[in-house]
Amino acid sequence: MKSILVLNGPNLNLLGIREPEQYGSHTLADVETLCRETGKRLGVEVSCLQSNHEGELVEAIHSVRQGVLDGSALGVVFNAGAYTHTSIALHDAIKGSEVPVIEVHISNVHARESFRHHSYLSPVAAGIIVGLGAEGYVLGIEALVRRS
C-alpha cells in the first residue's frame, strides 16, 4: 500500500483548544483521525506527525524522499504553520528532496495579516489549499492520490 505523510508544524497541537473562530473546533487528534479515515477510503496508508521544531520538519520531509523514489510513497500534506512565512530551510528541504508536497492552511491566510500572505513553500509545492478548514487535509490527500 502506498503511503502519505500528514505533517503539521508549530502550534497546530493547540487546534480546537484556542481560537476556534480562526481554526475551527477540530483538535489535532480529530484532524489526524479524519486523515487516517480518508487514507482507508482511498486505499493509502496515512501516517501523521506534528512538531514545533523546524529541523524535525526538515527531517520529516527528507524521510519521505526514498519512498517517493522507489514508488512506495506519494508525498506529504503539509501545514507548516507560521514556518510557512519564515522558513527558507523548509523551502530548500522540499525543493532538494523532490518530495511532492501539498501545502495546506486551515484559515484563508490571504484574508488575514499581510505577513501571512507570503509563503516560502508555495513556489516549491505541488499544490496549495487554503481556507477550507480541516477539509483541506482531506483534499490534499485526495490530490496526492489523483496525481499518482
The C-alpha atoms of residue 27 and residue 67 are separated, in whole angstroms, by: 29
Distance in Å, CB of 44 to ligand CA2, minimum: 22
CB of 130 to ligand CA2, least distance (A): 7
Give the CA count within 13 Å in the CB-facing half-sphere of 138.
Answer: 13
Contacts of 112 (CB under 8 A, 6+ apart): none
* Residue 20 burial class via C-beta count within 10 angstroms: exposed 0-12, middle 13-18, buried 19 and up: exposed
Q: Which residues bind ligand CA2 (CB under 6 A)?
A: 11-12, 14-15, 18-19, 23, 79, 81-82, 84, 105-107, 109, 116
Active site residues: 23, 105
Q: Which is nearer to ligand CA2, 51 or 79 (CB)?
A: 79
Handedness of CA 117, 120, 9, 131 (dihedral sign): positive
Residue 19 C-beta: closest distance to ligand CA2, Å: 4
